[in-house]
């Protein structure tokens, strides 16, 4: 699926929905590496951006998004509308990230 066919909106400009296939989701769980936790802990002393955690968050969201797109592909969708993310801490070192949206088939207008 072309990632340009995913949106947080309820519509995709220039296209009309011809089939609603239902909710799709991508879930991943990541743990923080002890080395990055130590580096991030030291970085908090000086303040500013904590790049170790930013990178972990970006990788985790990208993985969940990719799983969601794979799910939509399996359902025969060519677009995903109303894309959202949710995250939940699981214990001290783990975070679940969920990407979800509505899988649809669209046609250009």
List Cα–Cα distances, 2 to 51, 72, 87, 90, in angstroms.
29, 11, 25, 32
pLDDT at 102 over 80: yes
Q: How confident is the model at residue 104 (pLDDT cuts 50, 70, 90)?
A: very high
State pTM to two decimals: 0.83
Neighbours of 100 (CB within 10 A): 19
Q: Which of 3.30.110.70, 3.40.980.10, 3.50.50.60, 1.10.150.20 is the CATH number of 3-108? A: 3.30.110.70
Domain boundaries, the chain: 3-108
């Amino acid at each position: 699926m072309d990632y340009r066919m995913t949106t947080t909106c309820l519509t995709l400009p220039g296209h009309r929905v011809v089939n609603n296939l239902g909710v799709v989701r991508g879930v991943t769980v990541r743990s923080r590496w002890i080395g990055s936790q130590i580096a991030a802990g030291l970085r908090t002393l000086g303040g500013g951006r904590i790049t170790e955690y930013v990178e972990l968050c970006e990788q985790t969201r990208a993985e969940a998004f990719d799983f969601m797109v794979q799910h939509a592909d399996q359902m025969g969708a060519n677009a995903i509308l109303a894309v959202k993310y949710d995250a939940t801490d699981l214990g001290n070192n783990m975070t679940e990230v969920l990407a979800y949206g509505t899988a649809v088939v669209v046609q250009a207008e």
